[in-house]
Structure 1
């Protein structure tokens, strides 16, 4: 953004009189950014396709400072867009819409307040990077199981705000299942201290659940108590070639029966997705000769004392080969090889971004409907845009597919993006016919806000709006996100 234009000068002056001075007093000079060059990284999303405007970025360093900033903004009618690592894919952390909106970044709130390996809990502030939280848990001999491709930059607060899923949902559940307590700054600046460490509390409404997955529209999560688990240092990981999605679903049953509770991850990658990774990400290589339509990444995990997981996995895969479900398989024989296999799965999103514009659909289906959905949706999308590339990958174990589209190889990117709404409608209709959801783990933000009106009943939307009005009557918390207009 240019720093000298009158347009940007007007933006800096958009805050009501006296508000900037009050914010500077409450947060200090390092806690308020007003230079357009400093603001720029906070007003565009990770994909580089969504851009907003803001006169200031607030960077509080404590819950007290968050509360003060919210109180000042609320009294002045200034809207607040909470932001964690800004790795979201639905525009939930990008300022936009009418009125003045400031970004409130939790990036300076990075304290680990407590770790209790006996009670299997850790209390962390919202700005702690997920990978850091994982490392702290590991240093205490415990496991924080939430794992996703952006874990090196996404924050705990952001994963709570979006109810993140990741690769271990099959065994440990979504973020909603991993949160025991929250500390939240409400829309009027009051602080709700709900940092409970107990597992059982039957004293009425479970208020923390209101804020998990709310994307900052009801309040700002400033700290959380997270569940920990026994460490799982023993891993068995395999990359398998599959003839089709039906075989992938059937393989899930075979591995579950053989491996019982040690099955932690089961990922699916299409050949189109794999080819993009191999083309764009240095150091990646195809672990198998020849080309296959689909691939699975299967991982078992357990404590050091567990039975030989490699043997368990190999037995399961042997049975699957005999049944024609698996065409070929590679079991990782070293940590480096395991890391290489994971790179093939986790690099898909990055590779697709390098490839060019894409349409991302984070959908979830009943597991038994995955194969029919892939076949039907693919045919319908191809009919709308011949040559479209179906970059499909995701989590077979919980029915979540990242059903992404890239334009034809020789096509016009602008013409492809112009078909966004028509192509997305085809995908969402196919999901709705099978009782699925149009957002499995990425949230709603702005990109899916209007689409949910077609898949949720008026009763459900009215209930959500009632909650929003009760907790944020002034409409200052992340407006224009999540809830569609009436």
Structure 2
């Protein structure tokens, strides 16, 4: 293949992988549900090499599948089964280009791991607030391209709220340098927003200017035992009232989710003496010690109103980590248990309890014995509505999956919600998303795609149906 010889000349032979054992780690996603093949895996060292590689592929008419830390859950970074696409991995673009504590900005390349951004910000007394369970391995390019959310959206917003500028390699190999650290720029279309959440279908993000914020070294954290999802929703305004702008996290974990974590993850334990229908993880974060007293006042108020049954307050950083592990370990625990059908939906917050009450019985009618694992971000209306297989019967879940997903998504659509909150569409939700959008909305998206990638060579088969 002449293209491979050209790519070896551009990137170096060691960074154009073609042997089966070398390419295998890049051909499936974290869930294992999506597996493809590729003509090669490319590992460019910098933006210039990304541009050269993309340009060569464009000239040869070969499609490019960008990949970051490969922690996605929707198949967005996996090639198809044709063996004709190339995977372009950004893990060598790991430079922190600048840290500016005066302007509160940090400029990093796409392969920089999220935890590294957090550490760099902390080193200058600042905070980069995006926080995910995969923050030790997910990368900035993937975070931008999927518009990642995480546990602090309630206070700080999604990834698009934290991006000031981007550098992007376009489908023809040209580079758009939009790395401007400006808070105000009213000179026309906000082009960076086209690429945030586009999952590499319009171009490849190679670097980003990100916002830093004032640090919040004081944390007050508690796990609450709750009587219902209704109570979790009702607590949100109360927690805001007591915490003001210092409420950063309000997470939901149902009983089934907690049981999976304590059964499958070492050292995880239920901190309460008896089971409860669901649990809430709350955290206030600020710069002064009063966050602890504000949390105590909020819990007292919640108990008096019958919204909180019991609470465990973290008394040390290690206890805080133990409470967070009960929330962040759910996905890993489900994977240990066997087959899981994952849904990442968002709803108007006031509809969350009604949604859970409606959908659960319908799912169990369709698949008796299924285990409903419901957890997520009450503060921004995002539920991970997952279904684990009946014990020992993964095949039953796989057979019922289309019907179960339709139940989950139809109820979301009926309430004006979204079938993808923070995981992106990838290949998993591509067709379903189009079916729930209006014809006008789908055609607008296609128009943008045709304008920037007229030959359909940039991550084809993702986000939009062919």
TM-score (norm 2): 0.99
Where in structure 1 are there 5+ consecutive unaligned residues?
A: 1-16
In 2, distance between residues paired with 1:289 and 1:310?
24
Partner of 1:449: 430
2:311 paired with 1:317: no
Partner of 2:330: 348
Between the aligned partners of 1:97 and 1:221, the Cα distance in structure 2 is 25
Q: Secondary structure at the match of 1:321?
A: helix
**Cα distance in 2 between the residues matched to 1:118 and 1:227:** 11
Partner of 1:3: none
Matched, 1:262 2:246: yes
Distance 2:15 2:120 in 1: 27
Secondary structure at 1:479's aligned position in 2? coil
Consecutive unaligned residues in structure 2, runs of 5 or more: none
Residue 233 (structure 1) aligned with residue 207 (structure 2): no
> Deviation of residue 409 (structure 1)?
1.9
1:330 alignment counterpart: 312
Instruction: Work out the CA distance in 1 between the residues paired with 2:218 and 2:104.
Output: 20
Q: Distance in 2 between matches of 1:97 and 1:432?
A: 32
Q: Does 1:91 align with 2:72?
A: no
- Say whether 1:196 aligns with 2:180: yes
Structure 2 residue 64 is the aligned partner of structure 1 residue 80: yes
CA RMSD of superposed structures (Å): 0.8
- Asked whether 1:425 is paired with 2:406, we answer yes
Out of 475, 481, 484, the residue aligned to residue 456 of structure 2 is: 475
Query: Which of 453-462 and 319-328 deviates more?
Result: 453-462
Deviations 1:70-106 (A, max 9, x none): 0000000110000000000000000015571100000
Write out per-residue CA displacement over residues 262-282 of structure 1, whole angstroms, 9 at most, x where no aligned residue.
Answer: 000111000100000000100
Count residues with an aligned counterpart. 466
Is contact 2:38-2:82 (8 Å) kept?
no
Q: Distance in 2 between matches of 1:30 and 1:98?
A: 24
Partner of 2:164: 180
In the alignment, what sits opposite 1:398?
A: 380
> Is the contact between residue 32 and residue 57 of structure 1 (CA under 8 Å) also seen in structure 2?
yes
Whole-Å separation in 2 of the counterparts to 1:37 and 1:475: 29
Verify: 1:378 aligned to 2:348, yes or no.
Answer: no
Q: Would you say the 8 A contact 1:449–1:482 is kept in 2?
A: yes
Given candidates 205, 209, 231, the residue that maps to 1:247 is: 231
Using the alignment, how far apart are the partners of 2:152 and 2:404 within structure 1? 30
- Give deviations 1:159-204, integer Å, cap 9, x for gaps: 0000000000000000010000000000000000000101000000
Distance (Å, rounded) in 2 between the aligned partners of 1:191 and 1:475: 18
Q: Secondary structure at the match of 2:222?
A: strand
Aligned pairs for 1:141-160 within 5 A: 141-160=125-144
Alpha-carbon contact 1:97-1:480 (below 8 Å) kept? no
Structure 1 residue 151: Cα displacement = 0.3
Distance 2:242 2:248 in 1: 13
CA separation in 1, counterparts of 2:398 and 2:57? 37
Q: Secondary structure at the match of 2:311?
A: strand
* 8 Å CA contact 1:452, 1:484 repeated in 2: no
> Using the alignment, how far apart are the partners of 1:377 and 1:295 within structure 2?
19
